[in-house]
Amino acid sequence: MANMIGNMELPFWLESSWSQVQQMLTDDRLPHGLVISGMLGLGKRQLADTLAASLLCHAPVMPQQLACGQCKSCLLRQSGSHPDLKYLQPEAEGKAILVDMVRQIQPWLAATSQQGGAKVVLIEPANELNANAANALLKNLEEPGQNTFFILLHHWPKPLLPTIRSRCQVHTVLAPAAEQVQPWLAQQVPEAKAEQLIQVQQMAHGAPLLAADYLRHDAPAQRHQTLVDLTAILRNQISVSEVAESWAKDPLPRRLDWWLQWQQDLIKLQQTQDSQQVINQDVVKLLQAIARKAEIKAVFSLYDDTLQALDSLYQRRNINQQLMLEKLLYGWYQLI
């Protein structure tokens, strides 16, 4: 089992989160609806699993309140068949959580727990509850029943419906400091070079698990190709539609996210003329060349369009990716 509670260790940056949760458990003031909020790659699910395990365990280990890993309830949970634990998740990644899924667990919510302890519902991602599903859930959040707990994972930057948020307490998980992430990353992926550690840490906005995933899946190479394509467009070596076609084949949000970071650097460079302000130092020469020629208004307009495009991708609005990319890349082409 991946999730061996008992000797389970949370990564270092979740320790303060756990001590807050632990305090709430000790004081008996854990909210019935707890939203765990933050970027992807921070281990929010691991925190949620640890809490669910603790709530279900018949004899949590004090003072940390971690599940014992040995009682009947822990064994049931580890085998994936705990009758008092339910997951509310989309049928496939990127799909919504539908109202029927909420309705399906409502009789179970109304019944008493089978193991005589808590009942726990883990909702992931809570930002994928569609409006009907959220409405169906509101009453349960308002009147959860005794010893029933909802743990909702909210992945940034997607929005969480305010009706859900307002009925829960929110715990935010933040990225740890860069100087703490790099040694941790080096332990996880020992073959990585020092400069790769710094690079993926920036690419992942400091989220350690995402940075490790980037290292393992060669995301630096994809980022490099993104840069090569963007440079080639400016040099008239490749057409906007060719690049759009090749980009549309990969998961798009992270590519747009890197591009957006470079645009932010470009804006800083134009406003301050100070290359030390640039976070992505490996692209500083290209950005300086653009900064000299581009109109700041055009850069801002491209930045807004890219932000909007990312937003539509996150909200899964029906969009033609190829067209959207062509528009953005054309805006880039026109900068100089």
CB of 71 to Zn ion, least distance (A): 3
* 52 contributes a contact to Zn ion by CB under 5 A: no
The distance of closest approach from Cβ of residue 48 to Zn ion in the complex, given in angstroms and rounded to an integer, is: 17
Please give the Cα distance from 198 to 52 (Å, whole number). 34
For residue 71, state whether it binds Zn ion (rule: CB under 5 A): yes
Q: Which of 162, 85, 96 is nearest to 125 (CA)?
A: 96
**Per residue, what are the HEC states of 17-58?**
HHHHHHHHHHCCCCCCEEEEEECCCCCHHHHHHHHHHHHHCC
For residue 280, which of 206, 207, 202 has the smallest C-alpha distance? Answer: 202
**C-alpha dist (Å) from residue 154 to 128, 135, 208:** 9, 17, 17
Applying CB under 5 A, the site for Zn ion has a residue count of: 5
Do 133 and 103 touch, CB atoms closer than 8 A? no
Q: With CB under 5 A as the contact rule, which of the stretches 72-80, 206-214, 222-230, 280-288 interacts with Zn ion?
A: 72-80
Identify which of residues 3 and 275 has a Cβ nearer to Zn ion in the complex: 3
Q: Which is nearer to Zn ion, 83 or 183 (CB)?
A: 83
Per-residue contact track with Zn ion, 171 to 200, x per CB under 5 A?
Answer: ------------------------------
Mapped onto helix, strand or coil, the DSSP state of residue 216 is helix
Q: Does 68 bind Zn ion (CB under 5 A)?
A: yes
- Should residue 51 be labelled a site residue for Zn ion when binding is judged by CB under 5 A? no
Is 14 one of the binding residues for Zn ion (CB under 5 A)? Answer: no
Query: Which amino acid makes up residue 261?
Result: Q
CB of 33 to Zn ion, least distance (A): 24
Q: Least distance (Å) from Zn ion to the CB of residue 114? A: 15
Considering only 35-43, 74-82, 104-112, 142-150, which stretch makes contact with Zn ion by CB under 5 A?
74-82
**What whole-number distance in Å separates Cα of residue 204 and Cα of residue 206?**
5
State in angstroms the smallest separation of the CB of 166 from Zn ion. 33
In the block, tokens 């998961």 appear at 251
- For position 256 contacting Zn ion by CB under 5 A, the verdict is no
H or E stretch covering 253: helix 252-272
Return the bridge partners of 172, or none.
37
Out of 40, 74, 160, 240, the only residue in the binding site for Zn ion (CB under 5 A) is: 74
Nearer to Zn ion, 72 or 139 (CB): 72
* Closest to Zn ion by CB, 73 or 202: 73
Residue among 115 and 130 whose Cβ is closer to Zn ion: 115
Nearest to 13 by CA among 49, 59, 44, 48: 44
3-class DSSP state for residue 248? Answer: coil
Rg (CA), the chain: 23
Site for Zn ion in 17-36 (CB under 5 A): none
Q: Among 214, 202, 208, which Cα is nearest to 187's?
A: 208
Q: How far is the CB of 195 from Zn ion (least distance, A)?
A: 45
Q: Which stretch binds Zn ion (CB under 5 A): 33-41, 51-59, 232-240, 264-272?
A: 51-59
**Contact window for Zn ion (CB under 5 A) among 55-63, 193-201, 293-301, 325-333:** 55-63
Which stretch, 62-70, 79-87, 140-148, 309-317, contacts Zn ion (CB under 5 A)?
62-70
State whether the Cα torsion 221-225-231-235 is positive or negative: positive
57 belongs to the binding site for Zn ion (CB under 5 A): yes
Residue 3: φ, ψ to 5°: -110, 70
Binding positions for Zn ion, rule: CB under 5 A:
57, 67-68, 71, 74
